[in-house]
Amino acid sequence: MARAAKAKSTRGGKTTPAAKAKAKAKSKSKSKVPIVEELYFRSDSAYLCFILNRRTQFARIIDFRAGALPAKRLYIQSVAKQEGIRKVITLVEKDEVSSWTKVGFVREGTIPGFYKRSDGHLCGCVIGDRTASVEVSDKSVKLTDRTINAAKKAAKELPERIRATTYEIEEADALKARDQAWRKGKGINPFDTFGRDAARGYYETSYKKTKPNYISAEYQDCFGHSLIEVLRSPEDEDEIKALCAGLRDVGEDLKARGIVSAFCFAPNDDVQLGTALVGAGYRKTGLLAQGILTGDVRKDAILWTRKLANPAEDD
């Protein structure tokens, strides 16, 4: 349920025993606060779901009632600041983009086939002290271009067939690997919930004697899209090959399930990860300001996408 702000109960400027008890209970319950939580905001004219991720200071808005309302921005800004959320995004149809730009969001990218037969448009907002959202700088755009050019050049050296091993694994094994990587500050993607009522698969991939890397695919059959998450960036040429092969294999698996679109977020300075993605058929279709957390640093994120199939061909 949506949270409402409560005024502190005081008498003569002093906190009452009841308020102290509530504060103590709240302090004790902090360790039990879920990493990912769904909050809802509903009024006579607005209805949205706020999926916040405390691990990555990232949140996604799912809007059930379109419209450019100041109440949306006020609620989002309030909850985000309260929960320490730094980046908020929403994915909408083309005709809804203007509603979100009117409340301070910036159109940052497009996911082809996100709604199976139509594209999803990503609008984002960096939560800060200013009302206007932070946008990517010219310096960041140039860095992104250099990363992509280097990735494309390196990807040309990847063979069409890579004898890597990729197989689906249990969730517990994937999350154990995730926790280890994040403790070491090497986690790129969190394997946490991104959408509502979605299915998820986990995969391990390796090549020769490389240490395994892990891929998560969260997909929704009704829309036909999938969020691809890579646990960590490859560290050498063999690891790039392993990840590239794994991404290709996961794409084929998703295609067999009827998924038509895949997308992934990656740091805009990560050439190794970009190389594996390019080699697996992904391309840049967006750039998110402060879109990803690596270690303790927020970086701009490239939106990588791949069209797995054309649903019109099946009609």
Q: pLDDT tens for residues 233-289? A: 999 999 999 999 999 999 999 999 999 999 999 999 999 999 999 999 999 999 999
State whether 108 and 146 are in the same domain: no
Partner residues linked to 200 by β-bridges = 218
In a domain, 119, yes or no: yes
State whether 146 and 293 are in the same domain: yes
Total count of residues recorded for the chain: 315
What is the domain-level CATH number for residue 120? 3.40.630.30
Q: Whose CA is closest to 90, among 50, 35, 53? A: 50
State whether 257 and 308 are in the same domain: yes
Per residue in 129-150, pLDDT (tens digit) is 665 678 899 999 999 999 999 9
Residue 22 has pLDDT above 70, yes or no: no
Partner residues linked to 47 by β-bridges = 42
State whether 167 and 242 are in the same domain: yes
In a domain, 174, yes or no: yes
Q: Which helix (H) or strand (E) holds 213?
A: strand 213-220
Residue-level pLDDT at 29: 46
State whether 161 and 300 are in the same domain: yes
Q: Between these two residues, 311 and 143, which has the higher pLDDT value?
A: 143
Percent helix, strand, coil in the chain, to 5, is 30, 30, 35
Q: How many domains does the chain have?
A: 2
7-16, 128-137, 198-207: range with lowest mean pLDDT = 7-16
- Last residue within a domain, chosen from 126, 157, 175: 126
Sign, Cα dihedral of 125, 305, 97, 223: negative
In a domain, 69, yes or no: yes
Q: Which residues constitute the domain of residue 252?
A: 138-314
In a domain, 179, yes or no: yes
State whether 99 and 205 are in the same domain: no
Per residue in 203-249, pLDDT (tens digit) is 999 999 899 999 999 998 888 999 999 999 999 999 999 999 999 99
Residue 86 has pLDDT above 60, yes or no: yes
- Last residue within a domain, chosen from 126, 160, 192: 126
- Last residue within a domain, chosen from 72, 95, 126: 126
In a domain, 17, yes or no: no
State whether 81 and 159 are in the same domain: no
State whether 105 and 221 are in the same domain: no
In a domain, 64, yes or no: yes
12-21, 108-117, 153-162, 298-307: range with lowest mean pLDDT = 12-21
State whether 238 and 153 are in the same domain: yes
Instruction: Tell me the pLDDT band of 77, cut-offs 50, 70 and 90.
Output: confident
Instruction: Tell me the pLDDT band of 62, cut-offs 50, 70 and 90.
Output: very high
In a domain, 11, yes or no: no
Average pLDDT for 169-183: 97
State whether 109 and 189 are in the same domain: no
State whether 97 and 166 are in the same domain: no
Residue-level pLDDT at 72: 82
Three-class SS of residue 295? coil
Residue 198 has pLDDT above 80, yes or no: yes
Q: Which residue type sits at 144?
A: T
In a domain, 213, yes or no: yes
State whether 110 and 187 are in the same domain: no
Cβ-proximal residues to 158 (8 Å cutoff; 6+ apart), any chain:
240, 241, 244, 275, 279
Q: Whose CA is closest to 113, among 315, 281, 306, 266? A: 306
Chain mean pLDDT for the chain: 88
Q: Is 90:72 a contact under the CB 8 Å cutoff?
A: no
